[in-house]
Amino acid sequence: MSETTSEPVGEPKGGQKHDGHPGHDHPEEHAGHGHGDAHAHGNSPHLAHHFDSYQQQFDAGKLGIWLFLLTEVLFFAGLFCAYTIYRAMHPEVFVYAHYFLNTTMGAINTCVLLISSLTAAWAVRNAQLGQKSLLMLNIVITIACACTFMVVKYFEYSHKFHDGLLPGPRFHPTEQVWEVESFKLKHPEAAEYAERLAKAAEEKKKKPAAAVAIVPGTEQPTFEKPTEEQLEPLVKAGLIGPLSEEPGGISRPKDAHVFFSCYFFMTGLHGIHVLAGIGVWIWLLVRASKGQFGPKYFGPIDYAALYWHLVDLIWIYLFPLLYLIH
């Protein structure tokens, strides 16, 4: 209970301070105290009837939005918890799958969201100072950044759909991990070995009965068995190991699709929040164009900006957890 009655801003009902002051029995005298805002609601189109002052209304809204953000954090916390548990259970899946994510696109999106957070914060200042055109400009930039984010996300998603990187039984990757650029960049030798091993395995399948050695024209009918050192990146990537789908051979780790379940669920839910944010900002843009915000009344911009910072913050966690850590 940190909140006590002596806290000045949170003090309900105008200027009334403490419990037992006798003589405080003329409530109407106190009603207009506080911040000098007009008490008569007739002059205050944005003051709801059940609040005594703009300050009280603003404080209530602010506490409300913080509580709402708390529920949002807990909502995502369930997913982060699931992520942590699966990461602990199947680390190899996360190492394997992160190669398929496009770090550049993720980084662009991070930048875009950070810029939008800045303009959102700036918009709050504009509203407080009553700078209507600057306020509208900043809201427009915020919306533009949010839309850019969604467009980039669209390209990332469609790419994954195309490559069969989908959750659950629909998981049929068209590319092997060693064919992915980011894997090649990181472990060039391992990628090469893996490719050769895979080719050899394919050849073997096509022509059984030791045909591999006889075929003329193959530049390397048999290749030296890779050393353990060379294979290490493959083992690390979960391509070889007891948890692979085909133990002993090179293949992807078992249950690799769980990563994409997490990926789509977490980024999808975040995307829905971005879309909701775009809706809110458009609504506020309309209200701002009517000149509704000023030094007395800027709560909605403030609340929307807080929400937007949270959406940003969640992405700041999602980006490293999904794209960078391995």
- Output the six-digit token pair for 312: 């940003």
- Residue from 3, 219, 224, 228 binding another protein (CB under 8 A): 3
3-state secondary structure of 224: coil
Contact call for residue 100 and another protein (CB under 8 A): no
The closest alpha carbon to 115, from 150, 153, 141, 152, belongs to 141
The closest alpha carbon to 299, from 278, 282, 284, 279, belongs to 284
Whole-angstrom CA distances from 37 to 41, 56, 125, 296 are 10, 11, 20, 8
Contact call for residue 98 and another protein (CB under 8 A): no
Burial of 312 (0-12, 13-18, 19+ CB in 10 A): buried
Q: Considering beta carbons, is residue 38 or 272 the nearer one to another protein? A: 272
Contact call for residue 280 and another protein (CB under 8 A): no
- Output the six-digit token pair for 108: 């662009």
User: Could you tell me the smallest distance in angstroms from the CB atom of residue 34 to another protein?
Assistant: 12
Phi and psi of 253, rounded to 5°? -65, 155
Contact call for residue 1 and another protein (CB under 8 A): yes
Kindly compute the dihedral angle of the four CA atoms of residues 120, 320, 163, 166, in this order, to the nearest 10 degrees: -90
- Determine the Cα–Cα distance for residues 191 and 198; give it in Å rounded to an integer: 10
User: Could you tell me the smallest distance in angstroms from the CB atom of residue 37 to another protein?
Assistant: 15
Contact call for residue 270 and another protein (CB under 8 A): no
User: Could you tell me the smallest distance in angstroms from the CB atom of residue 130 to another protein?
Assistant: 25
Contact call for residue 20 and another protein (CB under 8 A): yes
- Determine the Cα–Cα distance for residues 82 and 60; give it in Å rounded to an integer: 34
Site string for another protein, 33-72 (x = CB under 8 A): ---------------xxx-----x--xx--xx--xx-xxx
| Residues within window 249-268 making contact with another protein, judged by CB under 8 A | 254-255, 257-258, 261-262, 264-265
Tell me how many residues contact another protein (CB under 8 A). 57
Contact call for residue 13 and another protein (CB under 8 A): yes
- Residue from 32, 91, 167, 294 binding another protein (CB under 8 A): 167
Q: Considering beta carbons, is residue 74 or 209 the nearer one to another protein? A: 74
- Determine the Cα–Cα distance for residues 222 and 225; give it in Å rounded to an integer: 9
- Residues making contact with another protein (CB under 8 A): 1, 3-5, 10, 12-14, 16, 18-22, 24-25, 27-28, 30-31, 48-50, 56, 59-60, 63-64, 67-68, 70-72, 74-79, 81-82, 85-86, 89-90, 167-170, 254-255, 257-258, 261-262, 264-265
